[in-house]
Every structure is written in C-alpha cells, then in structure tokens.
Amino acid sequence: MSSPTRGDKALDARIRLSRGATEVDVSLTAEPGQVIGVLGPNGGGKTTSVLALAGVLPLTEGHVRVGGAVWDDGRRRLAPEQRQVGLMLADSLLFPHLRALDNVAFGPRSRGVPRHRARERARTELERVGLADRESSRPRELSSGQQARVALARALATDPALLLLDEPLAALDADTRARTRSDLAARLAAYDGVTVLVTHDPLDALTLADHLVFVEDGQVTQTGTPAEVLSEPRSAYVGTVVGLNLYAGQGDSHGHVRTADGGLLVTTSPTEGRVWATVPPSAVSLHLHVPEGSPRNTWRLRIASVTMQGQSARVGLVGDLPLTAEVTLESVTALGLQVGQDVWAAVKATEVRTYLR
C-alpha cells in the first residue's frame, strides 16, 4: 500500500448542503500536519461537515479537495471507500470477537493488503499508541481509554490523508479522558495528514488543535488559533466556550459601553464604536450589601444558578447585566449564596476589556 506524501494531504473544502432545517456553509482549510478543531452547539452543522468530508453526505455546492485531488465538487463525487479517510467516533466500534491486532489490521485488509503485511502495519500502529503489549487482547479485556487508542490506531493504519475525529473522547470518564487526551496529542503530533477534530469540550480543542473553527446554525462564526480565540471571542457561544462574560455593545471615548440589552459597563481602556466587551468570571466579586471602595461597575443581580467545580463555584446572575462569577467555596458558604437570592456584583474597570466587532 503506497502512502501519500505530505504535499498530497492539504485540505481545501467548502461544504454547502441542506440537512433538515439547517443550511450548512462551512469552509475548512489546513496544511499537512495541522489539527482543525470544530466546535459549536448541537445541530449547528459540525457532524454534517464531517460526514460530507467522509463522503457520506453529498454536497449541493462547494468542493472537497485533498492535495489538489477533487473528492466532491457538487457534480462528481468519490464514494467513501474511495477516499483516503480515517474515522474515529465517540464509540470505538471495535469488533468484539477480534484481537486488538486484527481490529487495527482490518482497515488495510479491507483495502486489499495481504494479511501478513496488514498485521505488520497494525503492530506498528499499536506500538505508536503505546499498546504493543496488548495486541492479543479483545476489546472486553481493554479499558475504555485503551479501546479509544486501538480505534485511533485502526483509523491511521490505512495511511489516510484526512483523519476525522468526531467526539473521540466523549465516552470516557474524566480521569481516562485526560490520559487519553495526552496520548492522542502525542500521536497526532507524528501524523503528517490533516486532522479534523469535532468536540464539545473546550479543553480537547484548546490542547489538541492548531486552529479552531466555530460553527453555529450552519455558518462559521469565528476562526483562529486557540490564543486568538481566547483573546477575542466573537459570539456568545464562543465566549461561553472560552469561559468569559461577553457582551456586544457601543463604546464611547469615556470608557462607557452600553450593551445591546441596555446594561452599562465602564472600562479604563475605551474603544469607540461597535465593540465586544469581556469580563473574566474570576474578576466578579459578590457582596450582600453595596460594596465599599471604588469599583466602577456595580449591579444588584439575582442568583440564577450555583454550580460547583472542584474548589470553586460558578454563580450565574441575572438582571440589568447577566454575569457569571467564579468564587471560592468558602465565599459560597460565608455569603450563604443560593438560587433566588439578590446580591451585589462588582467588577473593577481595569478588568473590562473591549475590542472592535
């Protein structure tokens, strides 16, 4: 089985099709070796885009090109089995009656590779994911994390030009997910094709992907490196993913930002015109009475939710300016915070960042 060179693996796709009520129009481009993280709410078009790349769904318009070869242009289309694609899903879908070695060898065998060579390749891939000593194990004898690594090895055993990972870690518990994420990152660093990673987990995307694409209602709402997205989110969903309070508003030269809902923020770094304003949840302090000192942003708000996260809590607040605050568990206890309670929220003007929309 011949392997494509790095130059054969660049991705250039514009995916245009209708699925249900969603009109999908998503562009994806990447150089060999890059990992694209695709994020968005349920029903936004993420999985539809993956299925179009794999050839399961035909394009209405647009194109899918890999290394200059046309896989789909809306008129002629390669079938899924004709595409150099590796696919890994949340469910590893390993064959329960086959050993790990033969699960991984299945891909090359299905493409006509002799059994001996297919097993040699499978041994290589199992070694690359750290499972050389488990080649004789059947899926029921493997942990969930090990099953995920076998599924990854199987996806890569056919030398795909394009690796599609659709929520590959979603079925794992938190501890297993963290370990498997690290293993996945190491293996992807050595893969010379393009990887498209669909995930709901911000940590998966921020730690595995070189470039992020956010898809909402079938449209791309923001693209950029993880650092760019963390610095300047540009939709409410993206703000939630990166953990910031985000507001669309109108800024003036005095540092006032009037939000679309009529709320007011004050910043020490004014930006005039149509702006985004961000407030880190950790910068929000909560008080039972009007806060003392000189915070330039104070609001009386009502607690809508209290969610524990390790040694801290995220407190959802509603009112003139909806906010999420991140406070210590000690603060929750000391203030007696509970849903339905009115509290004062304060944010220093230095913590409010603005940038043009």
Instruction: Find all residues with CB under 8 Å of 261, minimum gap 6, and list them.
Output: 321, 322
Rounded mean pLDDT, 18-35: 94
Mean pLDDT of the chain: 92
The pLDDT of residue 170: 87
Q: In the chain, where do the E strands start and end?
A: 11-19, 22-30, 35-39, 61-66, 69-72, 85-89, 162-166, 194-198, 211-216, 219-224, 245-251, 256-259, 264-266, 273-279, 285-287, 297-309, 312-318, 323-328, 342-347, 353-356
- Dist CA 39 CA 199 (whole Å): 6
Q: Residue by residue, what is the 3-state secondary structure of 299-329?
A: EEEEEEEEEEECCEEEEEEECCCCEEEEEEH
- Dist CA 246 CA 12 (whole Å): 32
- pLDDT bin (cut points 50, 70, 90) of residue 273 is very high
- pLDDT bin (cut points 50, 70, 90) of residue 5 is very low
Site of tokens 């064959």: 95
- pLDDT bin (cut points 50, 70, 90) of residue 20 is confident
**Can you read off the two tokens belonging to residue 290?**
């009007």
- Dist CA 28 CA 31 (whole Å): 11
**Can you read off the two tokens belonging to residue 113?**
């590779």
Max CA distance (Å), the chain:
77
Q: Which helix (H) or strand (E) holds 333?
A: helix 329-335
| pLDDT tens-digit series, residues 76-118 | 999 998 999 999 988 888 999 999 999 999 989 988 899 999 9
- Dist CA 190 CA 91 (whole Å): 24
Percentage with pLDDT > 70 across the chain: 98
**Res 279 pLDDT > 70:** yes
User: Which CATH superfamily is 6-234 part of?
Assistant: P-loop containing nucleotide triphosphate hydrolases (3.40.50.300)
| pLDDT tens-digit series, residues 182-230 | 989 999 999 999 999 999 888 899 899 999 999 999 999 999 999 999 9
| pLDDT tens-digit series, residues 111-157 | 889 999 999 999 999 999 999 999 999 999 999 999 999 999 999 99
The pLDDT of residue 174: 82
How is the chain split into domains, by residue range? 6-234, 244-356
Fold assignment, 244-356: OB fold (Dihydrolipoamide Acetyltransferase, E2P) (2.40.50)
Q: In 51-134, where do the E strands start and end?
A: 61-66, 69-72, 85-89
Edge-first strand order for the sheet with 323-328 is 285-287, 342-347, 297-309, 312-318, 323-328
Whether 244-356 and 6-234 are alike in CATH topology: the answer is no
- pLDDT bin (cut points 50, 70, 90) of residue 3 is very low
Q: In 225-272, where do the E strands start and end?
A: 245-251, 256-259, 264-266
**Res 2 pLDDT > 80:** no
Site of tokens 């992807």: 188
The pLDDT of residue 6: 45
**Can you read off the two tokens belonging to residue 205?**
């995307």
